[in-house]
Structure 1
Amino acid sequence: MKSASDTWFDEAYYQRYYFDKKTSVIDPEHAERLGAFVCSYLQYLRVPVKRVLDVGCGIGLWRAAVARHFPDASYHGVEFSDYLCGRFGWERGSVVDYQAHDPAEPFDLVICQGVLPYLNPSDLKLALRNLGRLSRGALYVEA
């Protein structure tokens, strides 16, 4: 099995699966409820959240929930798709080997939703190890 290629995630991919209501695979209301749940749970646990990393952030569905629950937190989106990086201003990177600009300062919350199924087994191991390294407080991983 081969991990996803960066050529898969072009404008046509996102038009079809994210922006066209007839063929979309996402439900923004679901993303909002999930984001509210995760953020509320972290507030309940009294996990301080000042720095958030969303790896594979896509069109940025988590950004609004993070801003609502943690208004003083910085949100950093990292995306594999050149198209989305250009459209939304995300940093280009992969969950497999992304390194924070300041490795001595891990993130309080790391989000990785809908990314891992695109990885082969060896890249998956690297990604999980990397996610643990990037996070110091909370990690939301969808597998």
Structure 2
Amino acid sequence: MSKTYDQAYFDKWYRSTEHAVRSPAELRRKVAMVVGQAEFYLGHPVRNVLDIGCGEAPWRAELRRLRPGIAYRGLEASEYAVARYGRSRNIGYARFGQLAELRFDTRFDLIVCTDVLHYLKPAEIRAGLTGIGEMLEGVAFLEAYTREDDPGGDREGFHARPAKFYRAAFSEVGLLPVGSQCYAGPRLARQVAALETF
């Protein structure tokens, strides 16, 4: 039985005080940290962002609060989220693996993908990462949890892979780890000092 990402799912995992594992304050801090990382490496304010697996697009409001003129594009595989928020929050329908072929008229200063990768099969991860490597102008925030972590929250369909799986997959497309689940894209490789990566 496949999981349904409907309103009940988002209510439970993102709004319920009993189940939600992240607070609005934590999201605010996380977005500020990621934007700071991206702007440090880019050398200018983040102009545009691609948010993959964005759900109801909680990052959008925080990004716009920090950078009011930012161009936001969300992608989501939940028919509910796209039908309800697609137009108002600029969310299109796409599965992660479709990033292998999906392209836009610009590269992105920031690509965000939170709480998605650990639910996907390896082939879909590798396919989607190819697109991320090609579309990324700046920094990607790829928040994934491994068998070494205990992230809490929705465990249905969670693949408890070792961290080295993700490190290898990210490296294959030229993503350089720069800390706090942020990865500099291939175009920024020359700007990353050896001791900034691990």
- Shorter-chain TM range is 0.7 to 0.9
Matched with 1:66 is 63
d(CA) in 1 for partners of 2:111 and 2:120?
18
Which aligned pairs between 1:9-48 and structure 2 lie closer than 5 A? Answer: 9-45=5-41, 46-48=43-45
Give 1:47 shift: 4.0
Matched with 2:181 is none
Matched with 2:142 is 141
Q: CA RMSD in A?
A: 2.0
Matched with 1:91 is 92
Letter in 2 for 1:76: R
1:127 corresponds to 2:128: yes
* C-alpha distance after superposition, 1:90-113 (max 9, x if no partner): 2111221131342xx211111111
Structure 2 SS opposite 1:141 = strand
* Larger radius of gyration between Structure 1 and Structure 2: 2
d(CA) in 2 for partners of 1:88 and 1:94?
17
Structure 2 SS opposite 1:97 = helix
Give 1:68 shift: 2.7
Q: State the TM-score, normalized to the length of structure 1.
A: 0.84
Matched with 1:111 is 112
d(CA) in 1 for partners of 2:15 and 2:138?
33
When the two structures are aligned, how many residues end up with a matched partner? 137
Structure 2 SS opposite 1:96 = helix
d(CA) in 2 for partners of 1:35 and 1:15?
21
After TM superposition, the runs of 4+ consecutive aligned structure 1 residues lying more than 3 A away are: none
